[in-house]
Amino acid sequence: MVTLAIQVLNSFYYASSLFLIACGLSLIYGVMRIVNLAHGSLYALGAYVTAGAVLLAGTQPSGLVFLLLPAGAFAVAGAGAILEPSLLRPLYTRAEEYQLLVTFGLLLILEDVMRFFWGALPLFPSTPADLLGSSSILGTTYPNYNFLVIAVGFLAAALMWGFVYKTRFGVILRATSQDMRMTSALGVNVKRVYVLAFAIGCFMAGLGGAITVPITGAAMGMGVDALVLAFVVVVIGGLGSLEGALVGAIIVGFFRTLGINFFPEVELAALYLVAAVILLVRPAGLFGRP
Amino acid sequence: MSTVDPSPVLFGLTGRLRGAAFAVVLLLVLPWLIPPYQTILLSYGLIFGIAALGFNILLGYTGLLSFGHSAYFAVGAYAVAFLVKYLHVTSMELSLLGGIIASTIISGLFGAVCVRHTRIFFAVLTLALSQVLWSLALKFYWVTGGSDGLRVPTPSLLGGLIPGTGDKVLFLSRPYYYFVLVVFLASVAILWVIVNSPFGKALQAIRDNETRAEFVGIQVRRCRWLAFLISGTFTGLSGALWAPLNGLVTPDVVYWPFSGRIVFLTVLGGFRTFTGPIVGAVVFNYLETYAVATTVYWQFVLGAVLVILVMTMPAGIVGTVGRLALRIKRVT
């Protein structure tokens, strides 16, 4: 019973961080039809920026350290606002191969940018997690910081939903994703929409990295690992679907917890196999438009 | 983008044959002119050239972008490693055969699944399946050695006529180079015949217009599957050749950035030409080696090259050179 509760919490923690990465990937694909292979590296960049900021602030425990957490998210959003017009905009009219290649090149570049600024050794900025301590759940201790991650993940999902479905900009965003030319003809500045959509997607990825870095730490290659898992989430939920990203993240979160407990050797293989099967029978995923 | 290979227009058949003969002679005498280290580097280039040519059957000729070709390369490489470790096979010919059979089976299976989709779904599907193999290679460490990988000792060539013992550098830079060269030339010849056969023309018809190809009576899915099979098999052959040269097979060759690397070197050379992937593989190999030797930030260099390449010369090295030559010829 106790382990079950812990496992459920772990699954939600995992789902929360996966959602933050996957929803940006899905949003960018939905609006711009670009599969961003560098998305995992943008997540890693968010983790590194926050880790660097927290470590710079020193080991003196202070509540102010929480103000540094969003630094990664804003930095990555800023990077996105620069990258979209400079690297991606010339490619919208070109074949998909080139878009994949440019984002793959960006991935290689970002990996070394992070190595340049923060070194090849992993960073562990655990101060924020240590400050919150842990609470006892049915006699077992559980870190309070995990609750914060879960809360941020679901709050982000709610805000994102409200933003896309309840605001004027959300309407424009959805219109652009459905028919870019028509929206442009109606007087919408599509270039601006693209920059904003890309920056928002980057913001979510950066937030995902920044919020989880006090627990997982920041290490080389984390972006490359994160990207394929985000792909699995997006494929299960449906490329370009926001609800899909949330449901996909929860499914993958629970699947991984199950896998780690019952079939650790084939856990990852089974996950990719599930993604392949879903892609095969229903390429639009659970929530995507076919 | 309808960039057509300009070489048939530029040079006649005899001209191209002459060029090919020159390249073969150059490759034959090079080991006697350059230091052993350079010869080994060239072997890597030729081996990746086979992988890129195989990959280009799908990308350049069938119009399908696979982002999971690391899987077939790795199946070839791991097959050789398994044969050495568990069956104590030292003959390179047998290992090569094992690698080819294994990669044919896997690419046949994966291909049957993947060709049901095209475009981005095809790319993601190939990616997901290659990741299945990656996680198996990583997690079943008692079979695959996990992240430490498997060691592959130098094999014996020509049925034991040339033993794999003794000076490793000498072995790799002379007998093994010529072995690689022979396999490379055979692969190029076979793939050239395939590409110029009616089947190859059918693939190009599918690439250019799927619906029309179907109306003409081409069995689109069957052709795509065959192209996938051929592509995966040659990539596997390349992996099998690579294993003894590298001496170590790790899960890194199954991980998805390795697939990206295969795409990279193909596009670097130019995927709308037959020879482009070979040039791309050799150039990429030198580029990577010198970037790694001169800076710790070699990934940055490669990434920047890739971005600039796509932005300024999407036709690749061979495509761009060909187009320039064509323009000069028209002017004069």
A55: buried, middle or exposed (CB in 10 Å: 19+, 13-18, 0-12)?
Answer: middle
Pick the more confident residue, A194 or A128.
A194
Residue-wise pLDDT for B19-55, tens only, equals 788 888 888 787 778 888 888 888 999 999 999 999 9
Interface touch A266/B303, C-beta < 8 Å: no
Residue-wise pLDDT for B283-309, tens only, equals 888 888 888 888 888 888 888 888 888
In this predicted structure, the answer to whether residue B226 has a pLDDT above a threshold of 70 is: yes
Min Cα–Cα distance to chain A from B296, Å: 9
Which range is least confidently modeled, A20-34, B20-34, B249-263, B271-285? B20-34
Q: What percent of chain B is modeled with pLDDT above 90?
A: 22
Residues of A in contact with B250 (CB under 8 A): none
Min Cα–Cα distance to chain B from A14, Å: 19
Write down the ipTM of this complex: 0.82
| Domains of chain B listed by start with CATH number | 7-331 (1.10.3470)
Residue A84, token pair as written in the block: 């979209």
- Find the largest Cα–Cα distance for chain B: 66
Residues of B in contact with A112 (CB under 8 A): 297-300, 303
Residue-wise pLDDT for A129-153, tens only, equals 777 777 777 777 888 888 888 899 9
Residue-wise pLDDT for A166-176, tens only, equals 888 888 888 88
CA atoms of B96 and B109, how far apart (whole Å): 20
Whole-number mean pLDDT of chain A?
85
Min Cα–Cα distance to chain A from B312, Å: 11
CA atoms of B94 and B242, how far apart (whole Å): 15
> Which of B300, B309, B312 would you mutate first to test chain A, the one with the most A CBs within 10 A?
B300
A 175-214 residues with CB < 8 A to B: none
Please name the member of A102, A228, A265 whose beta carbon is closest to the beta carbon of B310: A102
Q: Is A85 on the interface with B (CB under 8 A)?
A: no
pTM (2 d.p.)? 0.85
Residue-wise pLDDT for A23-79, tens only, equals 999 888 888 888 888 999 999 999 999 888 888 877 666 777 787 788 888 999 999
- Find the largest Cα–Cα distance for chain A: 62
Interface touch B300/A112, C-beta < 8 Å: yes
The domain A2-281 having CATH identifier 1.10.3470: the answer here is yes
DSSP-H helix ranges across chain A: 2-32, 39-56, 65-68, 71-83, 96-118, 127-132, 144-166, 168-178, 180-185, 190-216, 222-237, 242-262, 267-281
Residues of B in contact with A44 (CB under 8 A): none
Min Cα–Cα distance to chain B from A135, Å: 34
What number is the average pLDDT over the span B187-203? 90
In this predicted structure, the answer to whether residue B242 has a pLDDT above a threshold of 90 is: yes
